Amino acid sequence: MNLEYFLKAEAPSWMGADGSDHDIVISTRIRLARNLEGFRFPLIFTDEEAKTVDRMVTQAFYQLNDENHNFSHFAIQEMPALQRQVLVEKHLISPMLAQSDKYASVIISQDESISAMVNEEDHLRIQCLAPGLKLMETYEVANKLDSRLEKLLPFAFHNEFGYLTSCPTNVGTGLRASVMMHLPGLSMMKQMKSLTQMLARFGMVVRGIYGEGSENLGNMYQISNQITLGKSEDEIIEDLQNVVMQIIEQERKARHTLLSQSKIALEDRIYRAYGTLKHARIMTSEEAATCLSNVRLGVDLGIIKDVSKHILNECTILIQPGFVQQYAGTTLEPAERDVFRAKLIREKLNSENLK
């Protein structure tokens, strides 16, 4: 596959609406951090070491190509900044990898459900994505891939500490399990701050839509484990599953409270957002994300019936700065992006209504 295939303006398979609890849980992600024995960590290694690591990892992935997997490799340094940004917006690479000035790359499966970042913070970060709440199923995919790679690559492992990583917080299992959740009810009820503080006590962390260091956008939050050492993979996943189920219950209660106590105000908020998306001529990414969040809530509550989740997922991808410019085929100034973004959303929603 060439890079253009992965830059297309479509919602990837892991943003589908067929996962468990898909009215609240957008997607599940499992990430495994691994390093190769005998090489320094990316923060201090040489360009020659970086190229050797990249070559070893890429060859290993290509050996795994079969009827189930078709992996493609792309060097980050060969990509223009805009293409890197699009891959960040599709959650295929991290902002840190996109800004890398060292030899780094990404390996992507044809359906985009698996990606591997090479020479980011660690030599290898395997990422598996799935729609809805599928923590154990997604971990099993990642674990199987990890086991196959471990037969081909000399992973750095310590009998006492487990997998060795660049950052001490990842030592042990090297596992980061996370769930992307749409939490407009808790946000409207001003409960996100207390929820974040409560989760910290259980070794969990709340991050923005692009992970560590990013901000919340459109009431989307990533809930993930913070502890990787001293617990098994199964224990980490079970703990996160239990926490996520409690958050789902709280979000549903918040939505019920809004419907029962402020139904007219809620409907007005949802329909105003729908009208803005269908008719606005200028729209920032923040305003678009907020409106899409309100419309998604309206669809989940049965208030809006003529908009599909697929269109909302695609618009969630399209509204972001990199994608707007990729779709336009040229670099745009912020004001030009706002005009083009509004046009794209109108076209998507109107084409949906014509079906």
Report the amino acid identity of residue 41.
F
Task: Please check if 179 is assigned to a binding site.
Answer: yes
Task: Please check if 252 is assigned to a binding site.
Answer: no
Q: Which two tokens stand for residue 128?
A: 């598996």
Helix (H) or strand (E) holding 220: strand 220-225
CA atoms of 240 and 245, how far apart (whole Å): 9
Task: Please check if 298 is assigned to a binding site.
Answer: no
Task: Please check if 29 is assigned to a binding site.
Answer: yes
Task: Please check if 40 is assigned to a binding site.
Answer: no
The position carrying tokens 């890197």 is 84
Three-state SS for 257?
A: helix
CA atoms of 252 and 108, how far apart (whole Å): 35
CA atoms of 261 and 263, how far apart (whole Å): 6
Task: Please check if 148 is assigned to a binding site.
Answer: no
Report the amino acid identity of residue 101.
D
Task: Please check if 337 is assigned to a binding site.
Answer: no
Task: Please check if 1 is assigned to a binding site.
Answer: no
Task: Please check if 228 is assigned to a binding site.
Answer: no
Residues β-bridged to residue 181? 25, 221
Task: Please check if 62 is assigned to a binding site.
Answer: no
Q: Which two tokens stand for residue 325?
A: 């410019």
Task: Please check if 279 is assigned to a binding site.
Answer: no
CA atoms of 145 and 126, how far apart (whole Å): 9
Task: Please check if 210 is assigned to a binding site.
Answer: yes
Half-sphere exposure of 166 (CA within 13 A, CB side): 19
Task: Please check if 91 is assigned to a binding site.
Answer: yes
CA atoms of 45 and 327, how far apart (whole Å): 37
From the number of C-beta atoms within 10 Å of its C-beta (0-12, 13-18, 19+), residue 88 rates as buried
CA atoms of 171 and 34, how far apart (whole Å): 10
Task: Please check if 30 is assigned to a binding site.
Answer: yes
| DSSP code, position 155 | B
Q: Which residues are annotated as a binding site for ATP?
A: 27-31, 91, 125, 176-180, 207-212
Q: Which residues are annotated as a binding site?
A: 27-31, 91, 125, 176-180, 207-212
